[in-house]
Amino acid sequence: MQWLGGSLSNVEWRSIGLFYALVLPVLAAIAWQSRVLRVAELGDDLRAGLGAGSGSIDLLMALAVILAGLATAVAGPVAFVAFLSGPISRALTGGRTRLVPAALVGAVLVVLGDHIGAYLLGDVNLPVGIITGALGAPALIWLIATGATTRGSR
Amino acid sequence: MTDIPHPPSRLHARDLELGYGARSIVKDLEVVIPDGQITVIVGANACGKSTLLRGLARLLKPTRGTVILDGLDIQKRPTGEVARILGLLPQQPVVPSVVTVTDLVGRGRYPHHSGFRRWNPEDDRIVAEALELTGTADLAGRLVDELSGGQRQRVWIAMALAQHTDLLLLDEPTTYLDLAHQIDVLDLLAELNATRRTTIVMVLHELNLAARYADHLIAMQGGRIRAEGAPEAVITEEIIRDVFSLDSRVVLDPVSGTPMVLPLSVRRKESRDHHTDSRR
């Protein structure tokens, strides 16, 4: 069941310890490397012109995949959290892309989704992945639709 | 740093061949970029101008030959080290979705930082100076997205200035700008060259402006250099005919004293020939 919709119900404290032991070094490495994102945003030519090789982007991607993999190993696939946290934190911080606010928004989304899942239907405990999926899918469609119109008008 | 006793210039290329995949665009090229001068590369569409610029900027790995920066093969130098010596402004850089002018210009400081060396007061000073020099200080808090084309181009140049390099390569920095803003950007680059002795290499389409602003002009044709030197030596009716397949008259620009190309339209030329024929 956990592998269909991610859930926090079966997570044990034992796995949390191991999880943090693995996640913290990866987080530190990402924080160390994250400044490359500021120039990666400017396109491949300027990124290279400013002295950031494509290897540093590949490394960041690999670290992000490891991070997502670790989270999935503990809670299963909790859909759309990453899709939503970026744009929401962007709206909250006045448009700046920052990793820490995005991570905090993601954490809030998961806890909130878990809470809604636990109390929405009385006795039935819905897994958090179902809630984030149900909320996230329309939000994603909305983001794509509005994103497409702002691009087109430019 | 260099073993060569008298390198011809800080940036030059030997026996250069550049291309994409199996298709070679630039062949057998010997290029010397004069230090402290403004070099302008001109030529017809698809003659390899931008490809050459990309090769010189290390964005394109040569299929043969070498680009040499300060006596060393540019491909073998660490990217970050090259980025502290040579700056590049591509033709159409990507504007991040929501970014202020100061933030964008600050990103030019990237090659001067590392995991240990982060943003410091010196960076603030250099960014402020770049904004001042480009006349964008009053736009500092604005979003780049909301600026006009001319303002935005100034901001990109400010970012390149913040990179603080001795050499600056620009790919058609005046594209999509009206004439007044083209002059504005070129004046800014000329001023930069005069005050900081920054070596500037740019691709330009507008020949008369190229002749005005270039110390050294490179005219390319079919991936090779057809002519190079002072604008007076390069902008001739014969070379314009070869490079652009265009008949023209070259006169002296009454404002700057540099050569000025007056293109002869093929259609009008025919009608005039016809006219003179009938008079005979």
Residues B117-168: tens digit of each pLDDT: 788 999 999 999 999 999 999 999 999 999 999 999 999 999 999 999 999 9
Q: Which of A125-129, B44-48, B131-135 has the lowest mean pLDDT?
A: A125-129
* Chain B residues touching A95 at Cβ < 8 A: 97-99, 143
- Give the whole-angstrom CA distance, residue B104 versus residue A151: 20
pLDDT for res A86: 84
- Give the whole-angstrom CA distance, residue A128 versus residue B265: 71
- Cα torsion B125, B126, B131, B134: sign: positive
Contact indicator for B250, B244 with CB cutoff of 8 Å: no
**Torsion angle, alpha carbons of A124, A128, A130, A136, to 10:** 140
**Alpha helix (H) residue ranges in B61-206:** 79-83, 101-106, 121-133, 149-162, 179-196
| Integer angstrom CA distances of residue A56 from B61, B80, B89, B139 | 19, 12, 21, 32
Q: Is residue B279 over pLDDT 50?
A: no
A123 or B264, greater pLDDT: B264
| Optimal mutation site among B58, B110, B164, interface A, most CBs of chain A within 10 A | B110
Cβ–Cβ below 8 Å for A42 and B96: yes
- Give the whole-angstrom CA distance, residue A76 versus residue A92: 28
Q: Which of A97-111, B136-150, B238-252 has the lowest mean pLDDT?
A: A97-111
Contact indicator for B212, B42 with CB cutoff of 8 Å: no
- Give the whole-angstrom CA distance, residue A43 versus residue B95: 8
Smallest Cα distance from A88 to chain B, Å: 14
Strands B86-89 and B216-221: unpaired
User: If pLDDT is split at 50, 70 and 90, which confidence band does A150 have?
Assistant: very low
- Helix B149-162 × helix B121-133 angle, to 10°: 140
- List, for residues A16-73, the tens digit of each pLDDT value: 899 999 999 999 998 888 889 889 989 999 999 999 988 888 999 999 999 999 988 8
Q: Model's pTM, two decimal places?
A: 0.83
Contacts of A56 (CB under 8 A, 6+ apart): A33, A36
* Chain A residues touching B115 at Cβ < 8 A: 32
- Phi, psi (deg, nearest 5) at residue B82: -60, -40
Give the Cβ contact number of residue B211 at 10 Å: 25
- List, for residues B13-27, the tens digit of each pLDDT value: 999 999 988 888 998
Q: Is residue B56 over pLDDT 80?
A: yes
User: If pLDDT is split at 50, 70 and 90, which confidence band does A96 have?
Assistant: low
Instruction: Considering only the beta carbons, identify the residue of A35, A45, A96 that sits closest to B88.
Output: A45
B36 or A142, greater pLDDT: B36
**Alpha helix (H) residue ranges in A81-127:** 81-92, 99-119
Residues comprising chain A, all counted: 154
* Chain B residues touching A97 at Cβ < 8 A: 96
Radius of gyration of chain B (CA): 21
For residue B184, what are its two tokens?
A: 């504005």
SS3 content of chain A, % helix, strand, coil (to 5): 75, 0, 25
Q: What type of residue is A88?
A: I
Helix (H) or strand (E) holding A31: helix A13-33
**Alpha helix (H) residue ranges in B67-146:** 79-83, 101-106, 121-133
For residue A151, what are its two tokens?
A: 């691009």
Cβ–Cβ below 8 Å for A53 and B96: no
Cβ–Cβ below 8 Å for B88 and A96: no
B99 to chain A: closest CA residue: A96
Smallest Cα distance from B1 to chain A, Å: 20
Radius of gyration of chain A (CA): 18
Cβ–Cβ below 8 Å for B107 and A38: yes
> Percent of chain B, pLDDT > 70?
92
